[in-house]
Structure 1
Amino acid sequence: MSRTRVTAADATDVRTAHQDLHSERGALRGEHPGRSRNPVIKVADLAWLEFEKPDLARAEVFALDFGFSVAARTADALWLRGTFAGSPCMVIRRGRRSRFIGPAFRAADPADLDRLARATGTDVRNADVPGGGRAVTLLDPSGFPVRVVHCAQQLPELPGQQPLPLNFGTGHRRTNAAQRPPREPSRIQRLGHVVLETRVFGRALDWYLDTLGMIVSDFLFLDGRRDRGPTMAFVRCDQGGLAVDHHTLAMHLGPGNGYVHSAYQVTDLDSIAAGGEYLAERGYRRSWGIGRHIQGSQLFDYWRDPDHLMLEHFADGDLFSCDLEPGWAPMSAGGLAQWGPPATRDFLGAGPSPRRIRDVVQALRGDNEMDPARLFGLLKAANS
């Protein structure tokens, strides 16, 4: 992960700038603080995401077109990686249908696994990751298996795409040379974040803060219903003064419990755009993009794989240290991007489908945080 050391003076300046940009008034008295006072451990980063798919050969074709490299391959599992040194980005296991299993987070220290196991009444077991390792497997309040892992070996760095030299005003880095971005896959550098939908947003958020020591970068709330608390959170890892990704995990309240999308860092805007042309030429479908987000500031481009799962190419995301307080903003489709095309119904999941209708019926009948007022507010936000 790209990181920056922030001084105390820098932290004061960046905290004020963040509040001015993202908050109306910052947190109000009694609102969620966005962090736990005494978490069990503090995870360092996402390690990888776990999926199941029935056709590993087809999954590998898309993975290579999207920009992954293969770290390991067996008859029943495909491990994918980026160019940066570290752990794999993703494992796809053979299964009866295409589905997301859960995330794996990287422990900052091997001893954290023992501490986590004692606190949760679980065991530390061997992890089936290339090179070996140890893991604790938990279940979050939404029902997702969550692994916290420590890998015995790191994958070595691979050759990556180099950012193109750009001319700015009187700063001329490129002369007597034309600019020709190669039409090739956007070579993935690393896993950035995963976004999940949950019917038990408040319980799930507190679990990740209390158990894994994560902290909130930004809260979103339903317009006119701030008194009922946030309905989305962008959550980062806490590495003290070391600035890390604006969000490693994002969660929002919804009628379903499920995967929304995952995001993978690439070199720059040209890598996003040229890689997008490469994907389009091969018949894949863009969900939304290209644009620049507000929360996190990333340049983004969203695509669907052959099984309709959504993946994002991103570049130039915000990096925050632990000194930055959470921002607060109303939730709306128009508030997702600084520039770019309007968010699509496909990206927002706003299109009616039998599965979505079942989710809504089950959510309104179940013991969770969804009710008619919140459902109406979410629908309104998706169309605002």
Structure 2
Amino acid sequence: MSETHVDGTAVKTAHQDLHSEQGALRGEHPGRSRNPVIRVTDLAWLEFEKPDLERAEVFARDFGFQVAARTESELWLRGTFAGSPCMVIRRGRTSRFIGPAFRAAERADLDRLARATGSAVRDADVPGGGKVVDLLDPSGFPVRVVHCGEQLPALPEQQPLLLNFGTDHRRTNATQRPPREPSRIQRLGHVVLETRVFARALDWYLDTLGMIVSDFLFLDGQRDRGPTMAFIRCDLGSVPADHHTLAMHLGPGTGYVHSAYQVTDLDSIAAGGEYLKERGYKRSWGIGRHIQGSQLFDYWRDPDHFMLEHFADGDLFSSDVEPGWAPMSTSGLAQWGPPVTRDFLGASPSPQRVRDVIEALRGDNEVDPARLLGLLKAANS
């Protein structure tokens, strides 16, 4: 069964438990824009500032990054896949997340985006060169859209283990001994952000960058007020894309939640996790398998308390898959794995969190007492 969508394309409307028990109700957010300015193809990299680049590099190597370039003031990190670096850390006074950079499909997309937003196209300060348009999303995050010049070559991969399944014996007269070494990062997968202006920020990413929603989450008893979280993918047409390249949720704060980096397989996640644990790093939550996106996951904190995820085996959707709708809850975060931690949820009380709540309730945004109570209920459900 199908129907014509707002942009004139035929889309599937029968979910048949493809990725969510529920689809949209009549009149709910369609999860895509009628006529976006451009359609980005992926995340390019994330930008951070930290005062101690030496310490940042030690963690980066332990987590599984390779160094693409290093100067006195910048550290560019990459995975094994060919392409652009996936993170830049610039020396700064404090540790903070700056914003994401998305990849444009063509150089001409930057001109179209610049005209539509009143911005300029300028040279990108990335190894290999390129062009960039700098924007600001409704949450206040600097967002870059880039078209890179020279691409970094691929590096040697961490090979997946050969597994035996039932009567399918692919490995005989050989043992399994995955080495205790860092998980070798392949690429940047996604970033998750918290915002007080969820609806406005969501529409901006759909209208400006042409992204589309894979799954919406809503608060119990408040579905009529709209979603409070979205898992958003790039629109590559018939080519399947990651279930989410960007995820956003409503909250009292505005900031980075975590970023995720693909590795080879479950053994890479587990052996790399043992390597991190032996070096004294703190696991935030894992190992398990998500529901939205289906990824195998393992979350860690770096020395500056930023959360980073190793993941493998994520869902891939083409553009004809409609958004799913599900209630927001901690029990809905994983199919299996250990209980979700307070650290992962950001539920531990802190002076900054209290200030965030007070600011949000006083400000002109989408956080009100009912929304806040609903978020607290979801965190404990």
TM-score of the superposed pair, with normalisation by structure 2:
0.96
SS of the residue 1:137 aligns to: strand
Residue matched to 1:215: 212
> Which of the residues 125, 132, 136 maps onto 1:135?
132
Aligned to 1:247: 244
Paired with 1:375 and 1:342, the residues of 2 have a C-alpha distance of: 23
- How far the C-alpha of 1:269 sits from its partner, in A, is 0.1
Q: Distance in 1 between matches of 2:364 and 2:150?
A: 43
Partner of 1:112: 109
Distance in 2 (CA, whole Å) between partners of 1:289 and 1:79 is 27
Which residue pairs with 1:5 in the alignment?
none
* Higher-helix-fraction structure: 1
1:23 has 2:33 as partner = no
Is residue 375 from structure 1 mapped to residue 372 from structure 2 by the alignment? yes
Deviation at 1:224, TM superposition (A): 1.1
Distance 1:172 1:18 in 2: 33
1:170 is the counterpart of 2:199: no
Show structure 1 runs of 4+ deviating over 4 A.
15-21
1:238–1:322 Cα contact (<8 Å) kept = yes
**Which residue type is aligned with residue 115 of structure 1?**
R
| Aligned equivalent of 2:36 | 39
What whole-Å deviation, never above 9, does each CA across 1:215-238 have from its counterpart, x for those lacking one?
000000001110000000000000
- The residue identity in structure 1 corresponding to 2:112 is R
Question: Structure 2 CA distance, aligned partners of 1:188 and 1:325?
Answer: 30
CA distance in 2, matches of 1:46, 1:161: 22
- For 1:28-87, what per-residue CA distance to the aligned partner results, in whole angstroms no more than 9, with x for missing partners? 111000000000000000000000000000000000000000000011000000000001
Which of 226, 230, 234 is matched with 1:229 structurally?
Answer: 226
Partner Cα distance (2:246, 2:95) in 1: 21
Root-mean-square deviation (Å): 1.0
The whole-number CA distance in structure 1 between the counterparts of 2:259 and 2:293 is 14
* Paired residues for 1:1-384 under 5 Å: 16=14, 19=17, 21-24=19-22, 26-384=23-381
Unaligned runs of 5+ in 1: 1-10
**CA distance in 2 between partners of 1:38 and 1:67 (Å):** 39
Q: Is the 8 A contact 2:134 2:144 kept in 1?
A: yes
Aligned residue number for residue 4 of structure 2: none
Amino acid in the other structure paired with 1:246: H
Give 1:19 shift.
Answer: 4.4
Per the TM alignment, residue 23 of structure 1 is displaced from its structure 2 partner at its CA by 3.0
Q: Match for 2:21: what amino acid?
A: S
Following superposition, the deviation at residue 166 of structure 1 comes to 0.1
CA–CA separation in structure 1 for the residues paired with 2:286 and 2:16: 25
Q: CA deviation at 1:167?
A: 0.1
Contact 1:18 1:327 in 2 (8 A): no
Task: Give the aligned residue type for 1:23.
Answer: E
2:15·2:21 contact (CA, 8 Å) conserved in 1?
no
Percent of paired sites with the same residue:
84
Q: Aligned partners of 2:195, 2:325: CA distance in 1, in Å?
A: 20
Instruction: Give the alignment's TM-score, normalised by structure 1.
Output: 0.96
Aligned length: 371
5+ residue gaps in structure 2? 1-10
Measure how far apart 1:160 and its partner are. 1.0
Q: Is the 8 A contact 2:186 2:261 kept in 1?
A: yes
- Say whether the 8 Å CA contact 1:19–1:327 is kept in structure 2: no
